[in-house]
Amino acid sequence: MSELSISAEFFPMNEHDLDAVAALEASLQTFPWSRGNFADSLSAGYSVWVLRLGGDLIGFSVVMSVIDEAHLLNIGVCRRYQGQGYGARLLRHAMECARLGGARMLFLEVRPSNDKAVELYRHFGFRQIGQRKGYYPAIVGREDGLIFEKELA
């Protein structure tokens, strides 16, 4: 069966996914979230999802909601599947879950050096509203974080 004939599906993240999600995150980021960060997100009741293609975990998202606002804390797609629309599907799903949970606005931070992510967020109508100086650790020093928002309602 080819990958194209296999449908990608969303599932709520659970404890059995933690090792695979942490490994995927470590393969994507120089300064990754730990398994504990994902476990804490589960325990806190955040909207945490995995995207599976067949049985393979290929992506994840973590959204924290507070009253009528949500914050996309983390999102990632396996490098092998990047550029094929899975990131867009994850982002669309995260936005819809936040909206259904009552959020009117979705916020996020992104590294200015992450061109693909910045382009994706802009494509979905996110607009930059600020910048956090030295927000992210970097190989040398720190990197700023661009703050984006999108109205969901």
Domain definitions of the chain by residue range: 3-108
pLDDT, one tens digit per residue, over 37-88 is 999 999 999 999 999 999 999 999 999 999 999 999 999 999 999 999 999 9
Confidence of residue 124 (pLDDT cuts 50, 70, 90): very high
* CATH architecture of the region 3-108: 3-Layer(aba) Sandwich (3.40)
- Taking residues 17-35, what's their average pLDDT? 97
| Beta carbons within 10 angstroms of residue 137's beta carbon | 10
Tell me, what's the pLDDT at 153?
80
Tell me, what's the pLDDT at 92?
98
Confidence of residue 31 (pLDDT cuts 50, 70, 90): very high
**Order of strands, sheet of 8-12, starting from the edge strand that comes earlier in the sequence:** 8-12, 47-53, 56-66, 69-77, 105-110, 142-151, 127-137
∠ CA 113-104-45, nearest 5°, is 80
CB 117 within 8 A of CB 85: no
Cα dihedral 113/139/106/43 (nearest 10) = 150
